[in-house]
Amino acid sequence: VSTQSTGERLDVGESLGKIENMVEDLRQARVRSKAVRLSQEHLLQRELEHCLVLQENGGCPGNMEHRATGQLLPLLIGTWIADPAGSGTEVPILATNRDTESGLLIPIAGTMEDP
């Protein structure tokens, strides 16, 4: 096929192939965009849940017993404590877990060794 204005030949098959490639690129970009959007929605949902917990308990899900004195202290997420594993390092409390036997809240904190 030739164009009237320039007299050049236009290869329809080549143009169609380019368009099909562009359509496939757009489809793949849409799939990646959807995956990112779903990931962001999941992250926002988790952040909302954390905010609701903070609203409910002020960031203090309970109390923990001080190892040396036995005194009950507020368990505040982000508070630095001595590593429960005994490494001697100060680590932040990241979350809590309830001991199934005693019912006490146990802070989740500590160091991790690279294998």
SS3 content of the chain, % helix, strand, coil (to 5): 40, 20, 40
Tens of pLDDT, residue by residue over 90-110, are 999 888 888 888 877 788 888
Q: Give the number of other CB atoms < 10 A from CB of residue 63.
A: 13
What is the reported pTM? 0.44
**What is the C-alpha separation between 105 and 95, in angstroms, rounded?**
10
Tens of pLDDT, residue by residue over 60-74, are 777 777 777 888 888
- 8 Å CB contact between 64 and 104: yes
Residue 103 CA to chain centroid, in angstroms? Answer: 29
Return the H-helix or E-strand segment holding 82. Answer: strand 80-82
Q: What pLDDT band is residue 18 in, cutting at 50, 70 and 90?
A: very high
Residue 2: DSSP 8-state = B
